[in-house]
Structure 1
Amino acid sequence: MKDVEERAEAVLAGLPSYVWDGERLPVPVEDIANSGFGLLVRDVEDLGTAPGAPVLRDGQSLSGLLLPARGEIWVNAAEARQWPPRRRFTIGHELGHWVMHRTGQQALFCRRSKVDETVTLPARDSAAATSGTAVARDIEEEASAFAAALLMPQWLFVREHARCDGDVATLCAAFGSSIAATERRIASLF
């Protein structure tokens, strides 16, 4: 995942200072998607209405999706209202798909368990996986790693971790991240 970390760092380094100055927290992920990549972020009540949306089983829901041809990221509006840090992570996750996986894709759909920072599943839920196309790497895990690196850049995370003596609640507040995502970032960096 080192290459994923480097991709996120390159995105952050390439942003104009009016989008992000390299220091301000939390990292403005929606501004990055919009001003940095020209992607419209929409909070949508029913992601199943998206063109080509997969049929979901009872209890399944979509957390977010990327529609590359339309230049849009759709976020589950109910989840966004209930868990604002999850909304940020979902946008970062879909932006990861844009940066690393959009070539040849009509759409990428991420079920809730795929962007839930507490769940690790081997299966991939993407347009490629549902169409039967072989996928050599776990693009969902890559997109989640990208989101973590984008929202909690290593150099800032290490600095803030030292500043607050590793207090998870303080780190969550600074980075606008969930407890689970913050704890995973700590585990990956320390």
Structure 2
Amino acid sequence: MTGAGGDRVREQAERILADVPAWLWDGERLPVPVEDIVDSCFGLHVRDVEDMSAAPGAPAVDGGQQLSGLLLPARGEIWVNADEARRWPPRRRFTIGHELGHWVLHRTGQESLFCRRTTVQEARAVVADIEEEASQFAAELLMPRWLLVREHAACNGDIDALCARFASSRAAMERRVGQLLVGEPPR
């Protein structure tokens, strides 16, 4: 995501990281403690859940698909797919960051999004934009540009080393490095 919307998302993530109390995170230590930030700074509880369809208002998913996470604003909870979290811990971190992105960026607007009448095509475009913003927020939060630039130089661009330092998946790291350091447009 580029342009004014992308700048807004980046600025929000940077503001949150700047406001994290020093006792929780010093702004340098890796990986960024996303679950501690969600809990201590936002009062949100992260729950690893075996059956994501049990969430109040959980959307129906097509066969073979599954939900990675859900934000339940009224409960102050982020639900994370427990099976996926066990198999891919970096994915769990990204999911938590993504759902925090919804909390920070979309919480007040989301209620009206599902209440207003729109065409199916308009609704899909809005949902895609919201999901992309939440994913960009997660990337900005978990792989802040100042730390990524520093660590990229320190390990000579070794993606596996970066993944280990940031507790990130390879796919998320390659995308982030491409956006920040190689100049590739976001996918």
| TM score, norm. by length of structure 2 | 0.86
1:2-81 to 2 correspondences below 5 Å: 2-81=7-86
Tell me which amino acid in the other structure corresponds to 2:62.
R
Matched with 1:124 is: none
Alignment partners' CA distance in 2, 1:78 and 1:148? 22
Bigger radius of gyration:
2
Alignment partners' CA distance in 1, 2:19 and 2:165? 22
Listed one character per residue, the Cα deviations across residues 69-126 of structure 1 (whole Å, up to 9, x for unaligned) are 11000000000000000000000000000000001546xxxxxxxxxxxxxxxxxxxx
The answer (yes or no) to whether the contact 1:152–1:175 under 8 Å persists in 2 is yes
Q: What is the Cα deviation at residue 67 of structure 1?
A: 0.4
Higher helix proportion, which one? 2
Matched with 1:145 is: 136
Tell me which amino acid in the other structure corresponds to 2:136.
A
Q: Does 1:183 align with 2:174?
A: yes
Note the residue ranges of structure 1 that are not aligned, 5 or more in a row: 107-126
Q: Does 1:156 align with 2:147?
A: yes
Alignment partners' CA distance in 1, 2:114 and 2:129? 10
Residues matched between the structures, number: 170
The answer (yes or no) to whether the contact 1:45–1:76 under 8 Å persists in 2 is yes
Alignment partners' CA distance in 2, 1:129 and 1:187? 34
- Give structure 1 regions of 4+ aligned residues with deviation exceeding 6 angstroms: none
Q: Does 1:168 align with 2:159?
A: yes
Note the residue ranges of structure 2 that are not aligned, 5 or more in a row: 1-5, 182-187
Identity of aligned residues (%): 69
The answer (yes or no) to whether the contact 1:68–1:105 under 8 Å persists in 2 is no
Alignment partners' CA distance in 1, 2:138 and 2:42? 15
